[in-house]
Amino acid sequence: MYPTLHSTSLTFTPIDPSTKKLSTVINPGSTTPAVTLAIRNKTIQELFELDYGRMNATLGTELPLTNFNTQTTIPLGYVDPFTEDITDSKDLAAQPVGVAGDGSQIWIVIHNGVDSHAIHFHLYDVQLINRYGWDGTNRPPFANELGWKDTVRMNPLEMDFVALRPMSQPTVNLHLSRTTNSCVSRGLPGSPTMVAQGRRILIPE
């Protein structure tokens, strides 16, 4: 069953990574393998920047029980406190979602704008569960959107439900090529960095 606009949680039976089948692991405080995860409210909307009045897309949070008549968007900037509490699930990668200590979450990203935007998630991938329109239409993912992705398309006046299970990645040993060293020697600003396996790695000179 797909979540809808006023869903506050989602109950499902997860896949057991060790068997690739529906889990039979009984979760803490339960008598079944079913897992219930709360849905956390996020948003993207279009505002206008203050210097020249150009449109900019802003991420933020959304108060619960919003609707097409009453939009309760709280746009956030880089200076605002973080709203995401992420728990590393690396040590539970072989266990089903919902076991003790698991950091899996479900977000609803409500798009109150008029343009489609691609949202890129850093440090971990997400799964698109479904989209739900302001018109009450449920829209399952397209075939090329199934599975773990680092970028999800957000369409105007739709809500995207995404699942995430953050896992830290091992540090990767890298070395600079002659080309990169020559760029650094010419005084380009900052230390050389590279993104590897979802992490921003500082490369020693």
Asked if residue 23 lies in contact with residue 15, where contact means CB atoms within 8 angstroms, the answer is yes
159 shares its domain with 183: no
Domain count, the chain: 2
pLDDT, tens digit (0-9, with 9 covering 90-100), for 114-144: 889 898 988 888 999 999 998 889 999 999 9
119 shares its domain with 47: yes
2, part of any domain: no
Q: Name the residue range of residue 186's domain.
A: 170-205
117 shares its domain with 182: no
61 shares its domain with 115: yes
14, part of any domain: yes
Asked if residue 41 lies in contact with residue 64, where contact means CB atoms within 8 angstroms, the answer is yes
β-pairing, 105-111 with 35-48? parallel
Asked if residue 164 lies in contact with residue 124, where contact means CB atoms within 8 angstroms, the answer is yes
CATH number assigned to the domain comprising residue 52: 2.60.40.420
Asked if residue 129 lies in contact with residue 146, where contact means CB atoms within 8 angstroms, the answer is no
| Residue with tokens 């889990």, as numbered in its chain | 23
18, part of any domain: yes
182 shares its domain with 156: no
120 shares its domain with 194: no
Q: Provide the residue type at 75 as one letter.
A: P
146 shares its domain with 200: no
Phi, psi dihedrals of residue 13, rounded to the nearest 5°: -100, 115
Q: What pLDDT tens digit does each residue of the chain (205 aa) get?
A: 788 878 889 988 888 888 888 888 887 777 788 888 899 999 888 888 888 888 888 888 888 766 667 768 888 888 888 888 888 888 888 888 888 788 889 999 988 888 898 989 888 889 999 999 988 899 999 999 999 999 999 998 899 999 998 888 776 655 444 443 333 333 334 434 334 344 443 434 4
